[in-house]
Amino acid sequence: MQHLSALPGRASSWRPDIDGLRAVAVMSVIAFHAFPAFLPGGFVGVDVFFVISGFLITGILLKEHATGTFSVIRFYERRVRRLFPALSVVLVATVLAAFAFGYPSAVASTAKHGAAGAFSVTNVVLWREGGYFDTGSHLKPLLHLWSLGVEEQFYLVWPLLLAAVVRVRRMLLVTVAGLCVASLVMAESMNVMHRGAAFFLPFSRVWELGTGAALAILVQDGWSSSRVVSARIAELLGVVGVVAIIASALCLDSMHPFPGIRAVPPVAGAALVIWAGSGKGQSGYFIQWSLASTPAVYIGAISYSLYLWHWPLLSLPAAADVELNLWTKAGLVGVAFVCAALTLRWIETPARRSIAPRRAALVSCLALFGASILCAAVYANTRWTDHTERAQLEQALDWPAPDAGQATCPDEIRRVDPPLDYCRVSGAPPATAVVWGDSHADHLFLGVSRQDDHRSWMLLGNASCPPTVGIDVFADYPYCRERAEEALRWLEHQDLIKTVVLGFFGHYLDDVDVAYMHRNSAVGPSKIWIDGTFDRYRKARAFAHGLANSVERLVAVGKRVVLVIDVPELPFEPKHCFVRPRIPLAEQHCRVSASDVAFRQSAIRAIIANIAAMHPTTVAVADPTAVLCDLDFCGAGTAVAPTYRDSHHLSVHGSVIAAQVILQAESRLLP
């Protein structure tokens, strides 16, 4: 995050309202991370930061070009002194804390992200891993460094591009406008099928930084607010801008594809606030009372360090399996403020105000390089020591990537638009049996294809999309209805396929999150809507209708159908049951009551039983719960043979066990 100090000695062009806007941005992000239920769209604060950064950096560069003092080396020297010292301290503190208190998998992840953060590529690493809102995001204490990666990648190119076209101001503004439009279009189009790339990669964020840059060009060309509108209108525009940011933070959530069109209100709001205060005497009562107030300006002054500190403090306890309540989170936010204030005073300011700037830049680079070496050492220690039990566990938890084996998928399926996430064949084509569904079909397919290798099995489906037709389901991916219809239409025309196993997450219709990964992320049953509702009773009716539709259409074309009752959810992280931190901070409870599981599954069991009763000779029910649980409890298996790879997906061993039940159920159907 671009940060210009609001302390004595600042430049005469310093604007307190921009520091206040920084405060709005950073507090939005903190509120989203600490209290997501209260501010579900607080992540838009990062977009506000991007606009501020584009405006300030471009303004500085334009002034230097105008006075003939621009130097690429001096530009990057300033960036180094401004960003590296605080980042180095946070990286070292976070990685050492994770090493001491975190589970090995979280330690390795943190160290890897730390090394990536030191080289400004955290966003690329996170894109390859999943997403900002994915189920393991709460276990990534350096997740927030993705935004620094986006900025630094942008600023590797922007000063050089600006220098190339700065002398032709019309060309400069047209260039920036063209980049912004292209980037926004790209962001919106990528949201359809590549949400992770749209969120993390710089191409879809250029328009946000570019909006700030375009604003700086306009202001320096004389189009400040005082030239265009009255002070009263400027004040009103500033208010509108703040309202747009706050409304976005309140109305958006992680279920909405982002960025893209939905990012326009917070970006435009930030631009309005900045432009409204760009003219002399344009900071009216509202701006002076709120954004330019002393508390807001101070929070803006520490915003960079505050941003760096807050998420590790909130995330590290989760990496150590310590659950936080609201009061504990509030206390940790307070600790983040203290750390930020101390970092600004003793780390940031001395580096930025050094009387020997090049020496300070060199020391800053060495500090960050040292932090990256520490990250690499911790990663190596965690990944390549203690080979025995940990290596066995990692091997037992290994799972093929969703797109593994897609080359074996029939051409007509690979051409489906939107494409299916899961499509692979276990043996020589053509397939004669299919597992269709969501990621829970994926975790059944491996076991079924291994247990029944005399047939060629096919996996078909999409993550977070159940095998239901005629209903709209939105969990984490768009176009579930269209994808399910395409899959079913294809199945209806495959005469060689005689058996279809329907595997799916069993709690789409619920409104309470139970699985550990759902309680600690932005996805889960409570965030799923079906046919436009979150109400569990209406969701249940709709889901039953959609599942019955699929079964009836399959039976109508002569298929045998096996409905699989979903595996129990675990309210704990199963791999934490087998490998402990160096310094444990919490006691792990590694089992769940079988009676609680039965109560949780009662609704979906009733739906499945009713559908099976309507087709007694062609539809069977498989219940893996009996082999995954004993009479009293359900657990996670053993370190050598874990049955789960996370809190609601089976491991390879668990999949093989469940497959035996599925094949036995199929054998009871008429040939």
More confident call, 416 vs 243: 243
> pLDDT tens digit string along 372-408?
999 999 998 876 555 556 667 777 778 877 666 667 7
**0.75 exceeded by pTM:** yes
Helix, strand, coil distribution of the chain in percent, nearest 5:
60, 5, 30
Residue 142 buriedness (CB in 10 A; 0-12 / 13-18 / 19+): buried
Q: What mean pLDDT do residues 150-178 have?
A: 90
- Which own/partner pairs from 540-546 qualify as long-range (CB within 8 Å, at least 24 positions apart)? 540/509, 540/603, 540/607, 542/471, 543/466, 543/468, 543/471, 543/473, 543/508, 543/509, 543/607, 544/607, 544/610, 544/611, 545/470, 545/471, 546/466, 546/468, 546/469, 546/470, 546/471, 546/473
Question: What are the residues whose beta carbons fall under 8 Å from the beta carbon of 393, sequence distance 6 or more?
Answer: 575, 578, 579, 639, 642
pLDDT (0 to 100) of residue 284: 65
Q: For the chain, which residues make up each domain, given as ranges?
A: 16-382, 395-667
CATH domain 395-667 topology: Rossmann fold (3.40.50)
> pLDDT tens digit string along 166-182?
887 778 999 999 999 99
> pLDDT tens digit string along 327-382?
999 999 999 999 999 999 999 999 999 999 999 999 999 999 999 999 999 998 87
DSSP string of 313-342? HHHHHHHTT----HHHHHHHHHHHHHHHHH
On whether the CB atoms of residues 444 and 425 are closer than 8 A, the answer is: no
SS3 500: strand
SS3 473: strand
Please report which confidence band the pLDDT of residue 4 belongs to, taking 50, 70 and 90 as the band edges. Answer: very low
- Which own/partner pairs from 201-205 qualify as long-range (CB within 8 Å, at least 24 positions apart)? 201/123, 201/124, 201/127, 201/150, 202/123, 202/149, 202/150, 202/153, 202/154, 204/259, 204/260, 205/50, 205/150, 205/154, 205/259
